[in-house]
Chain A
């Protein structure tokens, strides 16, 4: 998994390679110090030779200074590598999300996507930083120290060879148990936080029903439970520390006792004992470091998985190389046998790990059942033929399992309704056939979930039909370059967003090259100019995040103006005037009709009044076109249309 991530090093690759090398050299310097020390004791102190003392002392100082310079240099280099990595990763990540197809966006929750940009990538950066610094340094020190110990006394070295790996093993086993407890703990903390958040946002409900006492009692219980679980999990860490101490002391004891005996028997010199004691502590220290680095690298897997999950997403809408530069010229739309369903896999980001886990579990179960059957087989002594049959059926079963999990059905329109294939997802559009001529005004009416928005979103290729074709001017939308397609087809989304910045900046998003006159003109037509000019700073008024300083109707009018600036051939308004009053809405419609006669206008609406003048009204019901016609016809012939009309006319005297 790290491999994928490391490909984002790019221009920092040289630093990433250089820093472990330099760090290893620095480590050698560190190793040399006790060695020189031993020499100093043996040749200088034992014999009272001051010259030797100065000589080895000088060497030592030199080594230390070189190591220091090297170390400070490598810190910069390794930081460059690690931060460069995270920078590139963050950019790639952000760019990828910006290019997500709509169906991919639906699968991730925005919250989790934002966390990944900062928290997860920072975690990866830190782990990588640690990796190139410690993951190389510590083993170098460990190996060299071992080598030095062996060269002093092989007998003493052997003890370490047994001692160190066994502690490793022990700690790893321990960690496995600890991880289990911690996962449980995190889940509980998560649940607790969800509860707090819920009650924070719903404080009015708590107060309305006077549930303060009830809430504090239940929370006390939850907090108590979290505390107990936390104690249980962290107890292991508490045990681990004194355990490390035990190992450390054992090493020290052994160094003194074993080393001392060797000295007493004249096998080693006093100086060698000195360096041996130092090397012992080096071995211990580097072992701990390796363990820690190892832990960090393992821990980074979860963030890496979350980030690569995003990076590996294919942008669904991909321009194929053979595409020509043709643009949308007229604006006629045709749907041919179109079927559509949303992918059921929701919130991929949070659910994937679990589903992977489940899949594994299921496979394990399957394996078990096969084994079980095999065992049974031995008892009942099936004939060979039957055995073959069983094998074949098992194979089939396995295949089905895999198919169920991994494969998409080939013909969604038929397969989709078979249970289980798409989970809870239903067919949103069923066999849609439709023609919209250029310059026509088309209204779409239907209840929530009837497929109105989905139908329209297929035109600018925000989603891809599962089956069938959408044609613009007789050409499949897939044959347009996305850029050209969306320049020709402009859609005002239902959940529209204005960004922090001035009104003008937001409008320019529609067309960067628009002149001030064009902007004003679009705003006049969208009935936005009046309120914009009423602001002190006019078009330079700064919008806050989420444009909270505008009313719903004002936001919608700005969004319409933004789309008008594109001068599209096809303009789609998805419930874009729901917060605008009827008379203003009528003015917008009139302005559109007068100034954009050649533009195909598709209006999705809740209110009948929004579509009453349309050339064509499409009534959607449960993913199907229930009827197409003019208002006057539908009001007579279509039951759904009649229902909607009558329910709305209650509140209005004249439509």
Chain B
């Protein structure tokens, strides 16, 4: 309806620092992870140095053996060296394990916290927010965005850190072993870094292009898969296939570019690393022969270590470039999540509460906990005492104006008066403002002009939750939730007994068909399950409203998809629900509202006719034309 894209003004750095706050509960664990990471990298350096020592020792002895011709060996020194190496191995494994294990806690835990936070925040958002944002969009924050965020925290971040540390540690080790020798490696490192830095943005660009094409493909497929029956009826398969093939071709091209570019990075860096290897070998041999690297044994050991280390340079580089993309995605996801959390929640400045009361013979009202069926509005006076107004269900609109967007009034100067236990019906085309009016009563939207009074109290002064508790609603879309039928009815009153559930179902004419189900009230249903008809779902939602037992009822009638007989049943149950309650009903079939105390005909946000059935028929206006089928309701 009102498609407003929330464009965030956060920079990635700001998003990151915000994310940092969400890590707070895991501060200690994160510090341990960092320490473990440093230990891990340090042992990597030490391991390489130790390996070099061992190799040198072996080469030295081998040299002696070759000269003397006696193949003996001195184990003592070698064994000590090896034990130290094993010790490094163990420390390295332990530190890595600690890191990974704690990381799991942090990433999964943060996910859970963010999920719960987002959900809780979402519940507080005004209905307006849900009008402006498609369910699919909001859902994708819960699924896609949380998944990318998870990937970033759990995989990309640590990998990125480890990769950088790995490169750094390899460079440090090389410098420790031989500064001259390091020159060739560092030169190659710079070249490889250059390649990655040069290619990465291109890869990203191509991927973005691919994503856009994917969106097109998806949209087309979705539209035509949904409308497939129509395509079949008109024999249009070939034409549609042809169109799809064009879109498919474009997507494939974009995909080809993106894939080729990103995958090329691997052999490119891999072979550059092999080239480094060669360079080190030749350069090393040169240095050895010139005697720059000490004895043959020491030199060969150095050479071998360098070769090992050179492979440690290339892999982290490719890795880092990939993870960098994941981090960017993750931050974008985090940004979208935070923009939900930054949405302003419903304001609730109302102070007046709804309380259970008893009335003694003198008419004095005293509050009590769940003692009676009687309710009153409780207002605290300045002197600390309470003033009580009996809840009756008297609703008045005075000069109400409302618009969703500025300068586009949806309701104009609405005056309404519903006495307790009266039935008020609204008639009008789609967009005339019927639904808006009933949404104002329970403050799904707030009015900028005019006032709505409930038992003489401005509804703005009533605490929202209490206001809504006093109004039961049956919506056009039934919105049953996953669970048993009993659970769904109980949603109207969480602590209801089974007896109360059956009572409510009977009132809604639902008891009969529920009992006929193999599992009765324990039958599982969901928003989409098809074990119930539309009419039956409607009746359950009526039962749900009935069990709430509120003094005011709002009914949005079921649509034309229900056949006449079922409609009669629903009508009967709605009538029972309305009995003794102030009712606001939106009618789609005029036959159902004939007995209303007042029928209000709306057009373009204004009341054009009002009165009871007889009055309006006499008037021969719009209602008359609608009722006699001379005009169409849109």
Which stretch in A192-200, A364-372, A377-385, A400-408 binds the other chain? A192-200
B225 — which chain A residues lie within 8 A by C-beta? 97, 110, 113-114, 117
Q: How far is the CA of A57 from the CA of B276 in the complex (A)?
A: 11
A230 to B274, CA, bound (A): 40
Q: Given A45-B285, A75-B264, A497-B227: A264 and B271 within 8 A (CB)?
A: no
Q: Which residues of B contact A118 (CB under 8 A)?
A: 214, 217-218, 221
With both chains docked as a complex, state the minimum distance between the C-beta of A449 and any C-beta of chain B, in angstroms. Answer: 8
Shortest beta-carbon distance from B290 to chain A in Å: 10
A105-B228, A584-B632 in contact; A448/B249 too (CB < 8 A)?
no
Q: Which of A83-91, A142-150, A172-180, A513-521 forms contacts with chain B? A: A83-91
Asked whether any CB of chain A lies closer than 8 Å to the CB of B468, the reply is yes
- The listed residue (B221, B234, B240, B275) touching A510 by CB distance below 8 A is B234
Q: Please state if B491 and A209 are interface contacts (CB–CB under 8 Å).
A: yes
In the complex, which of the residues A53, A68, A210 has the most CB atoms of chain B within 10 Å of its own CB atom? Answer: A210
Q: Nearest-CB distance from A638 to chain B (Å)?
A: 15
The answer on a CB contact under 8 Å between A71 and B267 is yes
- CB <8 Å contact, A76 and B104: no
Bound form: Cα–Cα A498–B192 in Å:
54
- Tell me which of B58, B232, B304, B568 has the highest count of chain A C-beta atoms within 10 A of its own C-beta: B232
Return the CB mask of B77-101 against A: 1 if under 8 Å, else 0: 0100010011001001100110011
Is A390 in the interface zone, CB < 8 Å from B?
no
Q: Of the 9-residue stretches A217-225, A323-331, A429-437, which lies at the interface with chain B? A: A217-225
Of all chain B residues, which has the CB nearest A646?
Answer: B564
Q: Is A231 an interface residue, CB under 8 A from the partner?
A: yes
Determine whether the beta carbon of A234 is less than 8 Å from that of B104: yes
**Do A551 and B430 touch across chains, with their CB atoms under 8 A apart?**
yes
Instruction: Pick from A33-41, A410-418, A611-619 the stretch touching chain B.
Output: A33-41
How many residue-residue contacts, CB under 8 A, span A and B? Answer: 399
CA distance A443 to B323 in the complex (A): 66
Q: Tell me, yes or no, whether B596 is within 8 Å of chain A by CB.
A: no
Which residues from chain A contact B112 at a C-beta distance below 8 Å? 223-224, 226-227
Q: Which of B71, B229, B245, B251 contacts A265 (CB 8 A)?
A: B71
A26 CA to B277 CA, complexed, in Å: 17
Q: Report if A264-B73 is in contact (Cβ < 8 Å); known contacts: A45-B296, A95-B241.
A: yes
A525 vs B100: C-alpha distance in the bound complex, in angstroms?
Answer: 72
Chain A residues numbered 476-534 whose CB sits less than 8 Å from any CB in chain B = 482-483, 486-487, 490-491, 493, 495-497, 499-500, 509-510, 512
* Residues of chain A within 8 A of B127, CB atoms compared: 203-204, 207
B403 interfacial by beta-carbon distance below 8 Å: no
Q: Are A253 and B86 in contact (CB under 8 A)?
A: yes
- CA A194 to CA B142, docked complex, whole Å: 11
**In the complex, what's the smallest C-beta–C-beta distance from B154 to chain A, in angstroms?**
8
- Say if the beta carbon of A215 comes within 8 Å of chain B: yes
The minimal Cβ–Cβ distance linking A608 to chain B, given in whole angstroms, is 10
Instruction: Let me know if A79 is at the binding interface, CB within 8 A.
Output: yes
Q: Are B289 and A266 in contact (CB under 8 A)?
A: no
B62 touches A202 (CB 8 A): no
**Given A71-B267, A193-B139, A510-B234: A266 in contact with B66 (beta carbons within 8 A):** yes
> Can you list, as one digit per residue, whether each of A241-252 has a CB less than 8 Å from chain B (1) or not (0)?
110011001001
Q: Does B223 contact A (CB under 8 A)?
A: yes
Do A206 and B123 touch across chains, with their CB atoms under 8 A apart?
yes
Q: A60 at the A/B interface (Cβ < 8 Å)?
A: yes
Closest to A264 in B: B73
CB neighbours of A46 from chain B (8 A): 296, 300
A117 B548 Cβ-Cβ under 8 A = no
Residue with the highest number of chain A CB atoms closer than 10 Å, among B86, B225, B277: B225
Among B23-31, B163-171, B469-477, the stretch that binds chain A is B469-477
Q: Does A352 contact B (CB under 8 A)?
A: no
A606 and B96 form a contact (CB under 8 A): no
Give the residues in chain B near A198, CB-CB below 8 Å.
479, 481-482, 526-527
Which DSSP category, helix, strand, loop or mixed, fits chain A's interface?
helix
Contact in complex: B307, A197 (CB < 8 Å): no
Cβ-based interface call for B615 (8 A): no
Residue B130, interface by CB 8 Å: yes
Output the least CB separation between B563 and chain A (Å): 4
Residues of B with C-beta under 8 A to A164: none
Q: Are A26 and B627 in contact (CB under 8 A)?
A: no
* Shortest Cβ gap from B250 to chain A (Å): 10
Known: A249-B93, A462-B232. Is A76-B260 also a contact (CB below 8 A)? yes
Interface footprint category on B: 35 or more
CB-CB contacts below 8 Å: B586-634 with A = 589-591, 627-634
Closest to A44 in B: B285
Q: How far is the CA of A246 from the CA of B86 in the complex (A)?
A: 11
Inter-chain contacts of B244 with A (CB < 8 A): 91, 94-95
Q: How far is the CB of A447 from chain B (nearest CB, A)?
A: 4
A202: B residues at CB distance < 8 A:
479, 481, 527
B380 lies within 8 A of chain A by Cβ: no
Residues of chain B within 8 A (CB-CB) of A264 are 58, 61-62, 65, 71, 73
Alpha-carbon distance A199/B492, docked complex (angstroms) = 15
Q: Give the Cβ gap from B320 to chain A, nearest Cβ, in Å.
A: 18
Please tell me which one of the listed residues B59, B82, B239, B560 contacts residue A578 in the complex, with CB atoms under 8 A apart.
B560
A129 at the interface (CB under 8 A from B): yes
Contact (Cβ within 8 A) A95 B278: no
Residues of B within 8 A of A491 (CB): 233
With a cutoff of 8 Å between Cβ atoms, the chain B residues found around residue A599 in the complex are: none
Whether B289 and A64, one on each chain, are in contact in the complex, defined by CB atoms closer than 8 angstroms, is no
CB-CB < 8 A to A595: which residues of B?
A: none
**A509–B237 CB distance below 8 A:** no
Query: Nearest chain A CB to B482's CB is how many angstroms away?
Result: 6
Task: Tell me whether B54 is interfacial, beta carbon within 8 Å.
Answer: yes
Residues of A within 8 A of B514 (CB): none
Task: State how many angstroms separate the Cβ of B508 from the closest Cβ of chain A.
Answer: 16
Instruction: Confirm or deny: A321 has a beta carbon within 8 angstroms of a beta carbon on chain B.
Output: no
CA distance A315 to B241 in the complex (A): 16
Question: How many angstroms from the CA of A45 to the CA of B632 in the assembled complex?
Answer: 97
User: B17 to chain A: which residues have CB within 8 Å?
Assistant: none
**A201 and B527 contact, Cβ closer than 8 Å, known pairs A105-B229, A210-B465:** yes
A205 at the interface (CB under 8 A from B): yes
Residue of A nearest to B105 (CB): A231
Tell me if A651 counts as interface (CB < 8 A to partner B). yes
Nearest to B527 among chain A residues (CB) is: A198
Closest residue of chain A to B252 (Cβ to Cβ) is: A87
User: Which residues on B sit within 8 Å (CB–CB) of A483?
Assistant: 235
A499 contacts B629, C-beta separation under 8 Å: no
Residues of B contacting A580 with CB < 8 Å?
A: 632
Q: Are A129 and B289 in contact (CB under 8 A)?
A: no
Which single residue of chain B is at the shortest CB-CB distance from A252? Answer: B51
Pick the residue among A102, A241, A256, A650 that contacts B229 (CB under 8 A).
A102
**With A118-B214, A246-B93 as given contacts, are A277 and B589 in contact (CB-CB < 8 Å)?**
no
Ordered by A's residue number, 18 sampled pairs between the chains whose C-beta atoms are within 8 Å are A53-B282, A53-B289, A57-B278, A68-B267, A71-B267, A86-B252, A94-B248, A117-B225, A133-B263, A194-B526, A203-B123, A205-B473, A265-B71, A274-B300, A447-B564, A483-B235, A496-B230, A510-B234
Q: A87-B249, A209-B491, A652-B627 are in contact. List 15 more A-B contacts (CB 8 A).
A: A41-B300, A79-B256, A82-B259, A83-B252, A197-B527, A198-B481, A202-B527, A231-B108, A242-B100, A274-B300, A486-B232, A509-B234, A553-B632, A581-B631, A652-B628
- Interface pairs A-B: 9 shortest CB-CB: A581-B632, A651-B591, A71-B267, A202-B479, A497-B227, A582-B629, A57-B282, A68-B271, A60-B278
What residues make up the interface of B, taking CB atoms closer than 8 Å to A?
51, 54-55, 58-59, 61-62, 65-66, 71, 73, 78, 82, 85-86, 89, 92-93, 96-97, 100-101, 103-105, 108-109, 111-112, 115-116, 119-120, 122-124, 127, 130, 135, 138-139, 142-143, 214, 217-219, 221-237, 239-241, 244-245, 248-249, 251-252, 255-256, 259-260, 263-264, 267-268, 270-272, 274-275, 277-278, 281-282, 284-286, 288-289, 296, 299-300, 303-304, 307-308, 311, 430, 442, 444, 465, 468-469, 471-473, 475, 477, 479, 481-482, 491-492, 494, 526-527, 530, 533, 544, 548, 560-566, 568, 589-591, 627-634
